[in-house]
Amino acid sequence: MVRYVYDFCEGRHDMADLLGGKGANLAEMTRLRLPVPPGFTVTTDACRAFLGAGVEPEGMSDEVSRHLSALEDSAGRRLGQQDDPLLVSVRSGARFSMPGMMDTVLDIGLNDDSVVGLAEMSGSDRFAWDSYRRLVQMFGSTVMGVDAARFEEAMTRLKEACDAPDDLYLDANDLAGLVETYKQLILDETGQAFPQSPAEQLRLAILAVFRSWNGERARLYRRREQIPDDLGTAVTVQRMVYGNLGADSGSGVAFTRDPATGRPGPYGDYLANAQGEDVVAGIRNTVPLTELEHIDARSYRQLRDHMATLERHYRDLCDIEFTIERGTLWMLQTRVGKRTAEAAFAIAAELVEEGQITPEEALARVSGEGLARLMFPRFDADATGEPLAHGLPASPGAAVGVAVFDSAEAVRRAETGEKVVLVRQETTPDDLPGMVAAEAVLTNRGGKTSHAAVVARGMGKVCVCGAEDLAVNTEARCFATPDGTVVQEGTVISVDGSAGAVYAGAVAQVASPAMRYLETGERTDGVTAAVAGALEQADSVRRLEVRANADTAEDARRARRFGAQGIGLCRTEHMFLGERRKLVEEMILARTDAERDRALAALLPLQRQDFTDILAAMDGLPVTIRLLDPPLHEFLPDRTELAVRVAATQARGEQPDPLEAELLEAVNRMHEENPMLGLRGVRLGLVVPGLVAMQVRAVAEAVVARTRAGGSPQAEIMVPLVGAVEELRIERTEVARVLAEVSEESGVPVRCPVGTMIELPRAALTAGRIAEEAEFFSFGTNDLTQTTWGFSRDDVEAAFFSAYLDKGVFPASPFETIDPDGVGRLVRIAVDEGRATRPGLKIGVCGEHGGDPDSVHFFHTAGLDYVSCSPFRVPVARLEAGRAAL
């Protein structure tokens, strides 16, 4: 029989699929004998069944009742019991943490009667009514669907009427009045009364949490974090403990290390006389966790002990929610905490140093995406000037953008390509779209564990929070600094998330420490040392080689500094541009062989020099040179412009320039409706006489020049867009002829492997045949994706990809992350059949995917020998190739 409910003492941390992260870790803390209020968890199975069928699965509610009875027995009181009520929280918790994205309801079990009992038992009327108004507010918004803002408005009105700067100034009477207001609000808005039956409250809250899995913000968050939509959430029901019982009570959030920098030591926020939600919501200003030592030394000591226990147990940074009820500490949540890229590298290295984890484990805990983030530029310390304001450095990095004051505006402007900084008093889950759109988030309230900080760190966005000096006015769409400077919406500001500072205008940027390390090997701080260690570890375990796509000697040199083991794709088309265009034009327009040969002869020394330089920069390492790929008309003037020019001349009754007329005639002749599928790649070589010979001669002569100079050139010649082995056979004969010719002439034997790109489905499907002629394969996954899906990349991305992503046709653009089922299948077929013909066939990939983490893992599994990517992605690919091999 399926079981839908587990008591905390029955679960374990490795049951997160079933119990959600929160439920599993509460169970784990219970096993570790930490002080956890008792409770039980309804499984994700139950959630999926409920969401699928629209009704609770059979047996679930009986199981819930049984576990509730046990909870009541252990507490010695019943849920909502009139004279001494047991109260519970109903908490959401999915497999992957989705901070604040789903619902939680506290203080379930209170009603018009039990609130009186709670007041008597606790000796505090204020506490009882504060708890009741929290329940009605949370229940009203999350379960009954009343807009949360309506409750906030009522609260604000009351505070104004009572002249109360914050909710602590409201007394029991005020709060009792507020409960009435809230109840009326619910009735007006929904036509239904707030339910007085505790059992009904519990049941409705559980179902509401299930439903919140499909709430809009939860869905948006999942899409962004690539969390599958079909996991469902678990629901945890837990005895309440009260942080709002007076000055000797409170709630807090703690991290065992700084999640922004990774520095060891306690870190977090504490708020006296508050329930948990208040800390994260930034409603009142929190105090730093270390202050707790002066407020309640005993609880602080216990908390530090528990933090140490958890970090040792999980062998990682943990974040923790806790509550102190009249001097007694309770642990309410823990998990392996989210962290910035900087902290991920620093903590992993530190834990290795402490002997807690192995270097392999450390490598598993960092990511290529994180490394890419560390390579972004920083603000130039000499160019910053006086900051407009200081806040908390909640998520590091440098961001420049225009200030905007709400989520919708951020989205609107970002869609037009503008870079924006979202400025809010504090953020709520409703601000998520704006945070996704923004470069940085700036708030004037809330601590380093506020919503803004947690979410920004999770997304790798820059964040400065709690900039209390700023007067943020979202109505007037501006903020003011203490000296009276007013910054209006649309003004450019710079946000330094590492220093916690905000500047007017766009501050100049410099290379980051990680970038300096990659460029020079210089290790300037702990994070760079950690990056260096991770890369060394990756290099020692990876099987995939990493090459770079580079067309110039300068790119080749940079790639080499970044650790590239050769060039996987050297495109020759840029060598046909600029001043050389004229020569190319002559070649294309040549009427006689002699004319064409003259043009080609003029191009030859230029190409030779390009190749010589690149081979020098990559001396000793393979350089894969691709013969010309794009259709030739790309090198001719624009057809429409030219036609207009010629027509205008004729309209003036003048004779068109004969050269122009001839050019137009040629452009018209060569025009293609679908150039991507037209005369390009190997097809050019087969129909344009002399082109391949010139290119191969340039390569061969460059090899000769480098050899004579004492170098060790390793040129490889790659034929693009082959679909049939015959194409390659013909082209290869020509290549071999020219190589032999140059060897003969120079007396230097030139041996260049000749291979092909696999970038058409037909090439992949006939790879066994193609391998008869190819000494290596390189997957051109950009074209292979285009031709497999029938997507024109230049057209589809803007036209409908975002709709496709929304509708879940694919989880990520297949141009960014390889489509494993379709394009990936072709890759596997080609690898298998290619190697069946030619064992040991060298196989790489040179599409954009070569630098994409998920794709790198795929290529590792598919058995490729190397990936090739842009120079800046080389360190990322090295790291991910290492992680793939773990």
Active site residues: 451, 846
Two structure tokens written together for 548:
């770079």
Which residues are within 8 A (CB) of 206 and not within 5 positions of it... i.e. 6 or more apart? 42, 64, 90, 235, 237
How many whole angstroms separate alpha carbon 37 and alpha carbon 42? 16
* CB 325 to Mg ion: min, Å: 17
Is 247 or 577 the residue whose CB approaches Mg ion more closely?
Answer: 577
Would you call 742 helix, strand, or coil by DSSP? helix
How many whole angstroms separate alpha carbon 344 and alpha carbon 338? 9
Residues 303-342 that bind Mg ion (CB under 5 A): 333
Beta bridge partners of 618: none
- 266-269: long-range pairs with CB below 8 Å, 24+: 266/290, 266/304, 266/307, 267/448, 268/320, 268/447, 268/448, 268/449, 269/447, 269/448, 269/449, 269/450
Is 296 or 759 the residue whose CB approaches Mg ion more closely?
Answer: 759
How many whole angstroms separate alpha carbon 385 and alpha carbon 279? 33
Instruction: Choose which of 21, 100, 446, 500 interacts with ligand ADP (CB under 6 A).
Output: 100
Interface map 29-48 toward ligand ADP (x if CB under 6 A): --------x-----------
* CB 756 to Mg ion: min, Å: 11
> What are the angstrom distances between the C-alpha of 47 and each of 3, 366, 556?
12, 32, 54
Nearest to 12, CA basis, from 3, 2, 4, 26:
26
* CB 277 to ligand ADP: min, Å: 5
Residue 780 binding result from ligand ADP, Mg ion, none, given CB thresholds of 5 to 8 Å by partner type: Mg ion
Two structure tokens written together for 132:
């009741």
Residue 834 binding result from ligand ADP, Mg ion, none, given CB thresholds of 5 to 8 Å by partner type: none
Residues 219-238 that bind ligand ADP (CB under 6 A): 238
Nearest to 253, CA basis, from 204, 321, 200:
321
Stretch that binds ligand ADP, among 168-176, 271-279, 399-407, 812-820 (CB under 6 A): 271-279
Phi, psi of 472 (to 5 degrees): -90, 125
Residue 444 binding result from Mg ion, ligand ADP, none, given CB thresholds of 5 to 8 Å by partner type: none
Would you say 812 and 855 are in contact if contact means Cβ atoms under 8 Å apart?
no
Instruction: Choose which of 44, 61, 104, 612 interacts with ligand ADP (CB under 6 A).
Output: 104
> What are the angstrom distances between the C-alpha of 802 and each of 812, 813, 815?
10, 9, 13
Which DSSP string corresponds to 841-886?
-EEEE-SGGGG-HHHHHHHHHHT-SEEEE-GGGHHHHHHHHHHHT-
Is 262 or 631 the residue whose CB approaches Mg ion more closely?
Answer: 631
How many whole angstroms separate alpha carbon 157 and alpha carbon 485? 30
* CB 783 to Mg ion: min, Å: 4
Interface map 814-833 toward Mg ion (x if CB under 5 A): --------------------
* CB 241 to ligand ADP: min, Å: 5
Is 783 or 880 the residue whose CB approaches Mg ion more closely?
Answer: 783
Which residues are within 8 A (CB) of 513 and not within 5 positions of it... i.e. 6 or more apart? 374, 378, 524, 525, 527, 528
Is 134 or 424 the residue whose CB approaches ligand ADP more closely?
Answer: 134
Residues 737-766 that bind Mg ion (CB under 5 A): 759
Would you say 801 and 813 are in contact if contact means Cβ atoms under 8 Å apart?
yes
Across 210-327, the runs of DSSP E, i.e. the strands, are 233-239, 250-257, 264-272, 287-288, 318-325
The answer to the question of residue 289 lying near ligand ADP (CB under 6 A) is no
Residue 332 binding result from Mg ion, ligand ADP, none, given CB thresholds of 5 to 8 Å by partner type: ligand ADP
Two structure tokens written together for 655:
């004779």
Is 129 or 776 the residue whose CB approaches Mg ion more closely?
Answer: 776
Would you call 7 helix, strand, or coil by DSSP? strand
Instruction: Choose which of 333, 407, 695, 714 interacts with ligand ADP (CB under 6 A).
Output: 333
- Using Cβ positions, the residue closest to ligand ADP within the complex turns out to be 276
For helices 553-561 and 513-520, the axis angle rounded to 10 degrees is 100
Is 37 or 834 the residue whose CB approaches ligand ADP more closely?
Answer: 37
Instruction: Choose which of 19, 26, 310, 332 interacts with ligand ADP (CB under 6 A).
Output: 332
* CB 504 to ligand ADP: min, Å: 35
How many whole angstroms separate alpha carbon 437 and alpha carbon 419? 8
Residue 783 binding result from Mg ion, ligand ADP, none, given CB thresholds of 5 to 8 Å by partner type: Mg ion
- Using Cβ positions, the residue closest to Mg ion within the complex turns out to be 783
Is 277 or 741 the residue whose CB approaches ligand ADP more closely?
Answer: 277
The answer to the question of residue 451 lying near ligand ADP (CB under 6 A) is no
Is 325 or 880 the residue whose CB approaches ligand ADP more closely?
Answer: 325
Would you say 153 and 140 are in contact if contact means Cβ atoms under 8 Å apart?
no
Instruction: Choose which of 71, 136, 241, 455 interacts with ligand ADP (CB under 6 A).
Output: 241
Which residues are within 8 A (CB) of 505 and not within 5 positions of it... i.e. 6 or more apart? 492, 493, 494
> What are the angstrom distances between the C-alpha of 462 and each of 369, 441, 567, 816?
15, 6, 34, 23
The answer to the question of residue 323 lying near ligand ADP (CB under 6 A) is yes
Number of residues that bind ligand ADP (CB under 6 A): 17
Residue 37 binding result from ligand ADP, Mg ion, none, given CB thresholds of 5 to 8 Å by partner type: ligand ADP
* CB 728 to Mg ion: min, Å: 15
* CB 333 to ligand ADP: min, Å: 5
Residues 261-300 that bind Mg ion (CB under 5 A): none
Is 107 or 759 the residue whose CB approaches Mg ion more closely?
Answer: 759
* CB 186 to ligand ADP: min, Å: 21
Residue 537 binding result from ligand ADP, Mg ion, none, given CB thresholds of 5 to 8 Å by partner type: none
Instruction: Choose which of 17, 84, 248, 277 interacts with ligand ADP (CB under 6 A).
Output: 277
* CB 441 to ligand ADP: min, Å: 18
How many whole angstroms separate alpha carbon 353 and alpha carbon 691? 58
Stretch that binds ligand ADP, among 100-108, 338-346, 546-554, 698-706 (CB under 6 A): 100-108
Would you say 735 and 693 are in contact if contact means Cβ atoms under 8 Å apart?
no
Two structure tokens written together for 552:
């110039």
Two structure tokens written together for 139:
């229940």
Would you say 390 and 469 are in contact if contact means Cβ atoms under 8 Å apart?
yes
* CB 416 to Mg ion: min, Å: 31
Is 142 or 788 the residue whose CB approaches ligand ADP more closely?
Answer: 142
Q: What does the radius of gyration of the chain's CA atoms come to, in whole angstroms?
A: 33
Interface map 185-224 toward ligand ADP (x if CB under 6 A): ----------------------------------------
Residues 765-824 that bind ligand ADP (CB under 6 A): none
Residue 759 binding result from ligand ADP, Mg ion, none, given CB thresholds of 5 to 8 Å by partner type: Mg ion
Nearest to 516, CA basis, from 374, 369, 341, 368:
374
CB atoms within 10 A of CB 331: 25
Residues 770-809 that bind Mg ion (CB under 5 A): 780, 783
Is 249 or 714 the residue whose CB approaches ligand ADP more closely?
Answer: 249
* CB 285 to ligand ADP: min, Å: 17
Number of residues that bind Mg ion (CB under 5 A): 4
Q: Which residues of this protein are in contact with Mg ion, per CB under 5 A? A: 333, 759, 780, 783
Binding site for ligand ADP (CB under 6 A): 37, 89, 91, 100, 104, 106, 238-241, 275-277, 321, 323, 332-333
